[in-house]
Amino acid sequence: MGKMKFEAGKAFAEHLDEKDELASFRNAFIISDPNLIYLDGNSLGRLPKATPAKIHKVIEEQWGHHLIKGWNADWYEAPSRIGEKIAKLAGAAPGQVLVSDSTSVNLFKLILAAMKLQPNRHRIVSDVFNFPSDLYILQGCVNLLGDSYKLDLVQSRDNITINQQDLLAAIDEDTAIVSLSHVAFKSGFIYDAEFITRHAHEKGALVLWDLCHSIGAVPVELDRWQADFAVGCTYKYLNGGPGSPAFLYVSARLQAKAISPIWGWFSQRAPFAFDLEYQPADGIRRFICSTPPILSLLAVESALDPLLEVGIQSIRRKSIKQTSYLIYLIDQILVPLGFKLGSPRDPDLRGSHVSIQHANAYQINQAMIREAMVVPDFREPDNIRLGLASLYTSYTEVWEAVERIKQIMIKELYRKYPAERAAVT
């Protein structure tokens, strides 16, 4: 994509919407209040129109009518069946992706599986941009494994990116696994995953990618990268719904050797033989644990259809254009009002959200929600994240959001909101 030229007026945003080849996909989502500008699809995606009908059918027809027959008819295979749909967005050949548990629990399972494959290595390498839950899981794994194990975090030099040479320098002969977020939850910084994976492998380390902020927004090529493991959630850009189950990837290269530390009946070779001894199933199914949450699992299935129809390359093209447009407006309108850009300027280095920073960010964030009908989210200490979802965010919304933030600043509307943090920010 060549250098993009933007203009600051509203007519330009409308013009971009008219030319947007993905504009019609907004109709695939429930937009209950057109005045509300939702820039939080990177936390919880919008509700696809197909989902209520699908869930209604699952409840009334499958649960209500078929009762327990539902397991053989549709439910038992659903974790792998839906995993295969996600695999198409993750660049994974069949048989390597499974929907199960939460991202954190999947991370726990895969890290302990990886550590068992690397008995003579004692270090886990991650970075300060990884999602805190990931870091807690990694700390918990080290705690379980014992005193000779250690987690090392690579620091950021600029608080927006991680210098890849710093990361490479941290990987040594004692590194068992490198566990990173592909796209950083705060700044949106995106790693060159293929490059990092190749280098880690040269040192004999395995690599796990957390795809929560990239799946459905950014091209992911797990097989091409030669990734070993990956985890990710389905409630952000995949629009699976609040608390929808997560997914995991285990490379086919490792499946015969890797084993989940949680030995549940669903990962048994023959769960309904009720054998008293555990034998792991062949293939990816050995990483499931137990009865899946069928209602929320099946909500993920239909939500994936618009993404698969559009294709990740078109989604990424729009996302780059939209985030570049947003950064242009931030520079023109918000920087003079005291904001700083908290995301990489180079589109190749950022995912689909843009952070802006301000000393009063927490108060401004509240004013955006309560006064201006703009929903972003706040991340400590001073970040307001603006998430753009190519399937339903319009250019006019981007323009309007910046205009409303400008009004909040000019009228100092944020001053009436407390700086003390609520339980959920």
Ligand X SMILES: Cc1ncc(COP(=O)(O)O)c(C=O)c1O
Nearer to ligand X, 208 or 212 (CB): 212
Tell me: does residue 126 bind ligand X (CB under 6 A): no
Site for ligand X contains 233 (CB under 6 A): yes
Please count the residues of this chain forming the interface with ligand X, following the rule CB under 6 A: 13
Cα distances (angstroms) measured from residue 62 to each of 51, 80, 88, 275, 297? 15, 19, 27, 29, 14
Separation between Cα atoms, residue 209 and residue 127, nearest integer Å: 12
Binding of residue 409 to ligand X (CB under 6 A): no
CB atoms within 10 A of CB 125: 25
Q: Binding segment for ligand X among 209-217, 266-274, 297-305, 415-423 (CB under 6 A)?
A: 209-217
Count CA atoms closer than 13 A to 311's CA, side-chain side: 4
Residues 6+ apart with CB under 8 A from 401: 37, 39, 374, 386
By CB under 6 A, name the one of 54, 85, 121, 213 that touches ligand X.
Answer: 213
Q: Does the active-site annotation cover 235?
A: yes
Residue 113 CA, chain-centre distance (Å), reads 22
Q: Does 138 bind ligand X (CB under 6 A)?
A: no
Catalytic member of 109, 236, 286, 379: 236
Binding mask 57-96 for ligand X (x = CB under 6 A): ----------------------------------------
According to the binding rule CB under 6 A, does residue 185 interact with ligand X?
yes
Using CA atoms of 360, 366, 371, 374 in order, give the dihedral in degrees to the nearest 10.
100
CB of residue 405 to ligand X, shortest distance in Å: 24
Is the omega angle on the peptide bond into residue 245 within 30 degrees of 0, that is, cis? Answer: no
Among the listed residues 6, 185, 189, 235, the single catalytic one is 235
Q: Indicate which single residue of 96, 104, 357, 383 sits in contact with ligand X (rule: CB under 6 A).
A: 104
Tell which one of 8, 88, 102, 219 touches ligand X (CB under 6 A).
102
Q: Which residue bears the tokens 């987690």?
A: 151
Residue with tokens 């794994």: 141
Q: State yes or no: residue 220 binds ligand X (CB under 6 A).
A: no
- Rounded to whole angstroms, the Cα distance separating 256 from 251 reads 10
Segments in 275-394 forming alpha helices (H): 294-310, 312-329, 361-370
User: CB count, 10 Å around CB of 3?
Assistant: 5
Q: Are 80 and 69 in contact (CB under 8 A)?
A: no
For position 181 contacting ligand X by CB under 6 A, the verdict is yes
Compute the least distance from the CB of residue 195 to ligand X, in Å: 20
Minimum Å distance from CB 409 to ligand X?
28
- The residue from 51, 96, 103, 390 that contacts ligand X (CB under 6 A) is 103
Q: Find the shortest distance in angstroms from Cβ 126 to ligand X.
A: 12
133 binds ligand X (CB under 6 A): yes
Taking CB under 6 A as the binding criterion, the range among 114-122, 143-151, 210-218, 316-324 that sits at the site for ligand X is: 210-218
Q: Is 131 a catalytic residue?
A: yes
**For 148-296, where are the E strands, in sequence order?**
150-154, 175-181, 206-210, 229-232, 247-250
Joined together, the tokens standing for residue 83 give 């995993």
Using alpha carbons, list the distances in angstroms from residue 398 to 78, 108, 290, 395, 405. Answer: 37, 37, 42, 5, 11
Catalytic, 414? Answer no
| Residue 179 touching ligand X (CB under 6 A) | no
Residue 360 within binding range of ligand X, rule CB under 6 A: no
| Catalytically annotated residues | 131, 210, 235-236, 385
